[in-house]
Chains A and B, each alone.
Chain A
Amino acid sequence: MSWQGELHKVLSATYKNWIISKRNAFTLFELVFWPFIGLLSIGLLTRFLELGDDMVAFVLVGAIALSILQISQIDVAYILLFDLWSKSIKQTFVAPVRGYHLVLGAMLFGVIRGVAVFIVLAAASSHLFGFDFLAGGVATVIVFLAGTFLTAASIGMVVCISILLFGQRADVAAWTLSGIMMLVSGVYYPVSILPGPLQILSKSIPLTYLLEYYRSAYGYGDHQILLGIALALLYFMASLLILNLAIERARRTGMMLRLSE
Chain B
Amino acid sequence: MPALRAEKICKSFKRLFQEKKVLFDISLSIERGEIFGILGPNGAGKTTLMSIFSTLIRPDGGSLEVLGRDALRDTHAIRERINISSGNPNFPWSLTVRENLRHSAMLYGLSGRSLHRSVEEAISAFELGPQSDAKFETLSTGQKQRVSLAKSILNRPQILFLDEPTSGLDPEMAMKTRDLIKKIYQEEEITVVLTTHYMPEAEELCDRIAFLREGRLVALGTPGELKRALQIGHRIFVEYDGEVDPLKLRIIPGVMEVKELSGRVEMVFDHSGRAVSSIIKAFEGADILDIGIEEPDLEDVFLELAR
Chain A partners chain B: yes
Report yes or no: A9 in contact with B107, Cβ–Cβ below 8 A.
yes
Report yes or no: B80 in contact with A253, Cβ–Cβ below 8 A.
no
Q: Does B143 lie at the interface of the complex (its beta carbon under 8 Å from any beta carbon of A)? A: no
Chain A residue at minimum C-beta to C-beta distance from B12: A254
Interface size on B, residues (CB 8 A): 40
Report yes or no: A16 in contact with B56, Cβ–Cβ below 8 A.
no
Chain B residue at minimum C-beta to C-beta distance from A10: B106
Q: Complex: how many Å from CA A19 to CA B91?
A: 13
Which residues of chain B have C-beta atoms less than 8 A from A5's C-beta? 109-111
Which residues of chain A have C-beta atoms less than 8 A from B91's C-beta? 86, 88, 91
Which residues of chain A have C-beta atoms less than 8 A from B90's C-beta? 86-88, 91, 260
Which residues of chain B have C-beta atoms less than 8 A from A251's C-beta? 56-58
Q: Does A98 lie at the interface of the complex (its beta carbon under 8 Å from any beta carbon of B)? A: yes
Report yes or no: A8 in contact with B95, Cβ–Cβ below 8 A.
no
Name the contact of A91 in the complex, choosing from B13, B99, B104 (C-beta under 8 A): B104
Report yes or no: A19 in contact with B56, Cβ–Cβ below 8 A.
no
Chain A residue at minimum C-beta to C-beta distance from B11: A254
Q: Complex: how many Å from CA A135 to CA B305?
A: 78
Which residues of chain A have C-beta atoms less than 8 A from B111's C-beta? 4-5, 7-8
Please name 19 pairs of A and B residues whose Cβ atoms are closer than 8 Å in the assembled complex, sorted by A. A2-B109, A4-B111, A15-B102, A16-B92, A19-B99, A19-B103, A23-B94, A82-B92, A86-B92, A91-B90, A94-B79, A94-B84, A95-B104, A96-B109, A251-B57, A253-B13, A253-B14, A254-B11, A256-B56
Which residues of chain A have C-beta atoms less than 8 A from B236's C-beta? none
Highest count of chain B CB atoms <10 Å: which of A20, A86, A93, A96: A96
**Which residues of chain B from 38 to 54 have any CB-CB distance to chain A below 8 Å in the complex?**
47-48, 51, 54
Report yes or no: A252 in contact with B58, Cβ–Cβ below 8 A.
yes
Name the contact of A83 in the complex, choosing from B11, B92, B109 (C-beta under 8 A): B92
**Chain B nearest CB: distance from A120 CB in Å?**
24
Report yes or no: B56 in contact with A15, Cβ–Cβ below 8 A.
no
Report yes or no: A12 in contact with B94, Cβ–Cβ below 8 A.
no
Which residues of chain A have C-beta atoms less than 8 A from B103's C-beta? 12, 15-16, 19
Bitwise, B51-79 to A at CB < 8 A (1) or not (0) is 10011111010000000000000001101
**Chain B nearest CB: distance from A171 CB in Å?**
16
**Chain B nearest CB: distance from A250 CB in Å?**
8
**Chain A nearest CB: distance from B26 CB in Å?**
16
Main secondary structure of the interface of B (DSSP, over half): mixed
Chain A contact-residue range equals 35 or more
**Chain A nearest CB: distance from B73 CB in Å?**
12
**Chain B nearest CB: distance from A28 CB in Å?**
15
Q: Does A92 lie at the interface of the complex (its beta carbon under 8 Å from any beta carbon of B)? A: yes
Which residues of chain A have C-beta atoms less than 8 A from B151's C-beta? 91
Q: Does B273 lie at the interface of the complex (its beta carbon under 8 Å from any beta carbon of A)? A: no
Residues of chain B whose beta carbon lies under 8 Å from any beta carbon of chain A: 11, 13-14, 47-48, 51, 54-58, 60, 76-77, 79-80, 83-84, 86, 89-95, 99, 102-104, 106-112, 115, 136, 151
Report yes or no: A88 in contact with B92, Cβ–Cβ below 8 A.
yes
Q: Complex: how many Å from CA A24 to CA B135?
A: 13
Report yes or no: B57 in contact with A96, Cβ–Cβ below 8 A.
no
**Chain A nearest CB: distance from B232 CB in Å?**
34
Residues of chain A whose beta carbon lies under 8 Å from any beta carbon of chain B: 1-2, 4-9, 11-12, 15-16, 19-20, 23-24, 82-83, 85-88, 90-98, 248, 251-254, 256-257, 260
Main secondary structure of the interface of A (DSSP, over half): helix
Chain A residue at minimum C-beta to C-beta distance from B135: A23
Known: A5-B110, A83-B92, A257-B57. 5 other contacts (CB 8 A): A20-B94, A20-B95, A95-B104, A96-B77, A256-B51
Report yes or no: A6 in contact with B109, Cβ–Cβ below 8 A.
yes
Chain A residue at minimum C-beta to C-beta distance from B102: A15
Which residues of chain B have C-beta atoms less than 8 A from A19's C-beta? 94-95, 99, 103
Which residues of chain A have C-beta atoms less than 8 A from B115's C-beta? 8
Name the contact of B107 in the complex, choosing from A87, A97, A254, A260 (C-beta under 8 A): A97
Which 8 A-B pairs give the minimum distances between C-beta atoms? A5-B109, A12-B106, A95-B107, A96-B79, A8-B111, A88-B90, A87-B90, A4-B111
Report yes or no: B106 in contact with A8, Cβ–Cβ below 8 A.
yes
**Chain A nearest CB: distance from B127 CB in Å?**
21
From known contacts A90-B86, A96-B76, infer whether A257 and B108 are also in contact, taking CB-CB under 8 Å.
no
Which residues of chain B have C-beta atoms less than 8 A from A9's C-beta? 106-109
Chain A residue at minimum C-beta to C-beta distance from B55: A94
Chain A residue at minimum C-beta to C-beta distance from B22: A254
Q: Complex: how many Å from CA A1 to CA B104?
A: 16
**Chain B nearest CB: distance from A84 CB in Å?**
11
Q: Complex: how many Å from CA A85 to CA B115?
A: 27
Which residues of chain A have C-beta atoms less than 8 A from B93's C-beta? 85-86
**Chain B nearest CB: distance from A223 CB in Å?**
40
Name the contact of A95 in the complex, choosing from B14, B79, B99, B136 (C-beta under 8 A): B79
From known contacts A4-B112, A9-B107, A12-B103, infer whether A94 and B54 are also in contact, taking CB-CB under 8 Å.
yes
Which residues of chain A have C-beta atoms less than 8 A from B54's C-beta? 94
